[in-house]
Amino acid sequence: MNPPLVRFLILAALTLSSMACAPRQQFYWGSYEDSLFSRQQHAGAEGEASALTMLASTITDAPSDAAQKVGPGIHADYGYLLLKQGRPDEAIAELQKEASLYPESAQLMNTMISRIQERKKKDAERKPAP
């Protein structure tokens, strides 16, 4: 068999196999999994701060049309990190977004939101009246 034909066949096979595996993305992921990895590599505040930045830009960069939603878990994880940073109101907003985008998460999101609100109430009661 002549070399150009062999080369063509190999190329054709590679093209076909890569086409078969090409992922059709249902969701917009941005740097979600990298943000997880960052937290795995740097436990504590440092990893969480960089993960927070990565998730914030993932959410900002996501396409605004409904064609590709922000991937499941991203708003929830972002909200969770905001909560850890002492930003409960922003956290609640993100958890609500997760629940409305993905009804499968509603039970967990609502549990978390009511816990956060209870804690806010307790904190408010503990503060001396002005």
Residues that bind other proteins (CB under 8 A): 1, 6, 9, 13, 21, 23, 25-27, 29, 32-33, 36-37, 39-41, 71-74, 76-77, 80, 102, 104-108
Distance CA 37, CA 125 (A): 38
Name the residue nearer to other proteins (CB basis): 6 or 45.
6
**CB-based burial label for 74 (10 Å; 0-12, 13-18, 19+):** buried
Distance CA 35, CA 51 (A): 4
Name the residue nearer to other proteins (CB basis): 10 or 117.
10
**CB-based burial label for 78 (10 Å; 0-12, 13-18, 19+):** buried
Name the residue nearer to other proteins (CB basis): 41 or 117.
41
Q: How far is the CB of 69 from other proteins (least distance, A)?
A: 8
Distance CA 100, CA 92 (A): 12
Q: How far is the CB of 60 from other proteins (least distance, A)?
A: 19
Q: How far is the CB of 28 from other proteins (least distance, A)?
A: 10
Token reading at 31: 């740097």
Q: How far is the CB of 127 from other proteins (least distance, A)?
A: 26
Token reading at 91: 């956290």
Name the residue nearer to other proteins (CB basis): 71 or 113.
71
